Structure 1
């Protein structure tokens, strides 16, 4: 399948930290299967660098937890992941099957800053009794290290905790309304190349398969 113009045979894709690797792998595999002649260049960049690179034309598309904060960018929600609470073994909170934000507020909480969940941030800030002691870390591995060592609890995507059971981390869901992190496909708010448009449709197919 050819677009007839050279620029369309190459997609420059920027990936922000934390984008789920399982869904991304499925998307890239589908792209390679259906359109192997289109080259994909991956760049791992910060969220801010991704937004700037899209606006300056250095990337054709990006995947990030943030939606478009600029009118020049178009944002398409893709896959969603629920957040959960991580505790060490034999933690007092494990007596409950699900935990509320008020339960969490009694302990230091480690967060990976890249996992953006506006609803969670808003409700943590509005806790009536006492504020949460939030400590931000630069990776999931650092969050897990502090939790396993007993310095507090963590809040992160359920899928990450499910894949980290060998770390002796326990997981509890939220009893409050579900808190989600959403991966967005970001592009310039203009007519895309045909190759980019087909890539976006494949991303939506992967997202739909997650919910079927």
Structure 2
């Protein structure tokens, strides 16, 4: 993300995407999409008694989270959500890809998080996906652009299409 922000500020990049609006001066972050957050659970796990998993139920369970260097904004937003868990988080691994998270979850190392839009590309027989029992468990994708950039007409049309397809 730091490289993306440098590129936007220097003019090397015209637009970018991030999972956080915390981008500092010189860059505008506009919310484009909101994706519900879901959890990935091993196929045989105590949390599967819930159709929607309450956040407080995650306390004490081993967690496989994303590596903040690989997905900085997503990790920041997930961290804010997990602050509501009363127990100390038991993070057993930090991974740099969705595939690695699903592999570790499927092997029983812990439970992980992903957005609902990733469900179709990540179905596995050893992992069950459950929604969280809270409407505010969403990850927002932001369109990033320099606050002083003059965008081409084609890029403006692209951004307009993104806005038209947005859920909020």
Scaled by the length of structure 1, the TM-score of the pair is: 0.69
| 1:56 maps onto 2:14 in alignment | no
Match of 1:111, SS state, is: strand
Is the 8 Å Cα contact of residues 86 and 161 (structure 1) preserved in structure 2?
no
Match of 2:20 in 1: 66
Listed as ranges, the gaps of 5+ residues in structure 1 are: 1-46
Q: Which among 79, 85, 93 is matched to residue 127 of structure 1?
A: 85
Stretches of structure 2 lacking an aligned partner (at least 5 in a row): none
The whole-number CA distance in structure 2 between the counterparts of 1:203 and 1:57 is 21
Matched positions, count? 162
- Which whole-Å deviations, capped at 9, do the CAs of 1:17-47 have from their partners, x for residues lacking one? xxxxxxxxxxxxxxxxxxxxxxxxxxxxxx1
Aligned equivalent of 2:51:
97
Greater Rg by CA: 1
Distance 1:119 1:191, change over 3 A: closer
Residue in structure 2 matched with residue 179 of structure 1 by the alignment: 137
Distance in 1 separating the partners of 2:22 and 2:10:
15
Secondary structure of the structure 1 residue equivalent to 2:166? helix
The answer as to whether partners of 1:124 and 1:131 remain within 8 angstroms in 2 is no
Aligned equivalent of 2:159 = 200
Query: RMSD of aligned C-alpha atoms?
Result: 2.1
Quickly say closer, same or farther: Cα 1:93–1:75, change in 2 above 3 A.
Answer: same
CA gap 1:126/1:173 in 2 versus in 1, 3 angstroms: closer
Alpha carbons of structure 1 residues 68 and 197: separation in structure 2 relative to 1, 3 Å: farther
Q: Which SS does the other structure have where 2:2 is aligned?
A: helix
The answer as to whether partners of 1:86 and 1:172 remain within 8 angstroms in 2 is: yes
Name the SS for the 2:141 alignment partner.
strand
TM-score, scaled relative to structure 2: 0.85
Q: Which runs of 4+ in 1 moved over 4 A?
A: 117-120
**C-alpha displacement of 1:161:** 3.0
Asked if 2 retains the 8 angstrom alpha-carbon contact of 1:117 and 1:181, the reply is no
Assess, with a 3 A threshold, how the Cα gap between structure 1 residues 187 and 68 changes in structure 2: closer, same or farther: farther
Task: Please tell me whether residue 164 in structure 1 is matched to residue 122 in structure 2.
Answer: yes
